[in-house]
Structure 1
Amino acid sequence: MLPSALAQECQPGGYSETGQEPCTSCTAGAYQDQAGSTFCMGADAGYYVPSDAATAETICPAGSYSSDTGSTECTTCPAGSSCPSEGETAPQSCAPGQFQDQTGATSCNDCAAGSFSDVSGATSCCTCCSGFYQDQTGQTSCTICPAEGSFAQGYSDPGATDVDQCTAQAGAVATCDQDTSTGTCPTTTADPATPTGGTRKRAPVRPRASSCARGQSSCPVYKNGAVARYECINTSMNLEQCGGCVTSGGGLDGVRSLDGGRDCSAIPQVDEVSCFKGECHIKTCRDGYEVSADGERCQVSKTPASRKRSQSQRRRAV
């Protein structure tokens, strides 16, 4: 009696219960790189297998990702995010101050000067409002124009990129805050039908906090020490109502009020300051002063050269 032929092992790309013929090809999304196997392996997250009988998985190229095992294709990175490397398992949302308006991107772009973004995953940036400017790229807010003449706030055309573009005239808006819950950009210009005179245009008055939009607080506006009206403020980004409503007897001199509000611009000896996520961030102090270790105030500089420079300037001013 002749001996039966030896059974053949399944080749890579296929399998069977015994690992021998007859064999079944691995389906798309799975592979097998060994001979004589009893199973196929699903593609790992960050990889894919596009066809049957595969002997290897393929890594997703930069600009795409796969979040599940057993993928047959990679997903293109959506606008508002980036997939910077091969084998990404999820898109990375663009950070505040950045945007991406294209799909399949490997990086996000900084917002240009004259614009900003205060949300993650932005597909575009907001234009700085009239009465504000931004001279740097990749920023989350705009800087208010300094007071000019009899005006409480200087004016600038929307999208201003330098403080020199601020002038003494009416038309500036009071706040330039982005709605962080929806990503909606602020209105860049004041209502031309509303006379502004020598004061800035303020947000609509709403007497109760519950009537303000989500993310805003109903803060009092004082006149001669008494509450004159209320306005809806996004205290997470407002320079003069940062972290909460500034109340009479507190916060007006740069000290936190009982509500936690602080007028960042009123901090003694401050030079450049911003409000971000309800906290005053002091960038620079006036000559002769430096930012304290806790970042809360400007203190007399410990650097002799700085003090001498300040004293020299005072002598020249006399």
Structure 2
Amino acid sequence: MRFTRAKTAVVLAASTWLSPLIAAKGLNKRDAASLDVCGQVNAQLTIPSTTFPFAGVPLGFINDCLCVSTLPQYVKTNIFAIEAVTIAGTDATIAELTSMINSCNGRTECHFPAHAVPQCKNGNPCFFTCQDGYTASPSTKPTECVCASPYTECNGQCGVYRGCPSTYIAKRELVHDCRDGFTACRIPGGSAKSYECIDTRTELESCGGCLYGTLIKGHSLLGEDCTTIPGVSDVSCIKGQCVVRKCMPGYILGGARAQCMYYDENQVEL
């Protein structure tokens, strides 16, 4: 396996055009990237009367910047929306608020990237912050959520990781039945008998042995995560050994291509 450090970019998924009468439920679940509708609402919240079908009940004036996807939470915190839910129910209240967003003067279709949390602002309805450890970039008018250095991405999370096990791991609780050439390596956070089968001869993050130990008795050799070698830019795991192909600027190859050494060309030896 080979690793090359590169800057990743968030690619927004293509979305279909939203009609003015879009239903709120379709936007509550945020996928890798999503399309939302936001706007500054300045209108009276009115719900249908249960006594007179063709009459409306005015509950209060809404003066908030709202996104359709955030309405399920909004109806739990706004006093007028809470009263509307008590009278007409959650679905009817969200439907009315959705209509108010779609009919407001500042209605805007917003494309939110993965890990974004909509933070509708008056004058900037598509503003957002990021979750899961990601950072909004650029800071003033962000367009993406990035995993900024020195953090790395692991299974949809941004943080500091010594290794990143696959999200699709076959966990076996009774016996380890890895095929020849593979080792039963322990899974961090799993049960005492959970493991995944790894070829430690080529696995970049468990090179030469299991990063978190093995279930096989008598095998105590721990592996190395080649991607964590300081200054490395391009590295492979070959026959259980980390082999550095290229170092980052300011570093030079050293130690039989097993490491990158910091190099200061201005340093004068005494």
Larger strand proportion of the pair: 2
State the TM-score, normalized to the length of structure 2: 0.34
Larger Rg belongs to: 1
Larger RCO of the pair (alpha carbons < 8 Å, separation 6+)? 2
